[in-house]
């Protein structure tokens, strides 16, 4: 395995541990053990845990940017792109543990500021463009408050589709996501678009049934 491949493995593993546990609880020993490498190898690539936090943050932001570019450039109609966008954002947010966000605010306010700026510019900004495009072509209602809708959608996703909430209920992450999307999209779509949405993206419990 090359040095670049080892470095990439370290960053990917660190990112997974940081966002699911919070980086204050993850030690370099934890990470070396998970990867099956020596601490010497780990420190050869990253002198401190903060260096690793920075690298994991940059990797995650690049991952999101690349996926958003791919979603918006793929063939398909508005509903396909909107659903793909929401599915990706939900998947990204659902894995983030509250402890990770608290750690950022407490120990790395500089990264917290960057994440907030990235969220507004890339996630909320791209989301607003998608909804505006839907309004332009008549798929989204003209009276929808785009900013308010995005705030409600992201809050619903973070509040429902996460490990802590799912562990207390019988529905799966997929069912939770489809439930949130079903309720939210029914509210913003124009009447002529709702039958198509219902037929294409059936909510849990309605598989095989007519909308």
Condensed to tens digits (0 to 9), the pLDDT of residues 122-143 reads 888 888 888 888 888 898 998 8
What percent of the chain clears pLDDT 90, i.e. is strictly above it?
Answer: 24
Q: What pLDDT is recorded for position 202?
A: 64
- 57 vs 172, higher pLDDT: 57
- Answer whether residue 13 shows pLDDT above 50: yes
Nearest CA among 63, 83, 81 for reference residue 72: 81
Question: Confidence band (pLDDT; 50, 70, 90) for 190?
Answer: confident
What average pLDDT does this structure show over 31-50?
92
Q: Is the dihedral of CA 185, 134, 79, 189 positive or negative?
A: positive
- 153 vs 37, higher pLDDT: 37
Q: What pLDDT is recorded for position 109?
A: 92
Do residues 42 and 11 lie in contact, with contact meaning Cβ atoms separated by under 8 Å? no
**Cβ partners under 8 Å of residue 156, min gap 6:** 180, 184
Nearest CA among 21, 87, 98 for reference residue 56: 21
Q: Does domain 1-60 have CATH number 1.10.10.60?
A: yes
Can you tell me the distance from the alpha carbon of 4 to that of 31, in angstroms, rounded to the nearest whole number?
17
Q: What pLDDT is recorded for position 208?
A: 40
Question: Confidence band (pLDDT; 50, 70, 90) for 203?
Answer: low
């Amino acid at each position: 395995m090359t040095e670049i491949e080892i470095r990439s493995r370290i960053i990917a593993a660190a990112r997974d541990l940081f966002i699911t546990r919070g980086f204050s609880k993850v030690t370099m020993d934890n990470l070396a053990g998970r990867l099956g490498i020596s601490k010497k190898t780990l420190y050869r690539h990253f002198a401190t845990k903060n260096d690793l936090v920075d690298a994991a943050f940059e990797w995650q932001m690049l991952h999101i940017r690349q996926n958003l570019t791919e979603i918006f450039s793929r063939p398909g109609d508005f509903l396909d792109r909107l659903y793909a966008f929401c599915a990706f954002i939900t998947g990204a947010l659902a894995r983030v543990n509250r402890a990770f966000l608290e750690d950022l605010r407490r120990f790395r306010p500089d990264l917290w500021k960057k994440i907030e700026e990235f969220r507004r510019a890339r996630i909320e900004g791209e989301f607003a463009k998608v909804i505006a495009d839907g309004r332009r072509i008549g798929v989204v209602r003209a009276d929808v408050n785009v900013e308010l809708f995005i705030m409600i959608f992201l809050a619903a996703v973070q509040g429902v589709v996460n490990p802590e909430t799912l562990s207390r209920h019988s529905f799966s992450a997929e069912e939770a996501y489809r439930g949130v999307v079903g309720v939210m999209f029914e509210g913003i779509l124009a009447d002529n678009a709702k039958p198509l949405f219902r037929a294409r993206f059936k909510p849990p419990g309605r598989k095989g049934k007519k909308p």
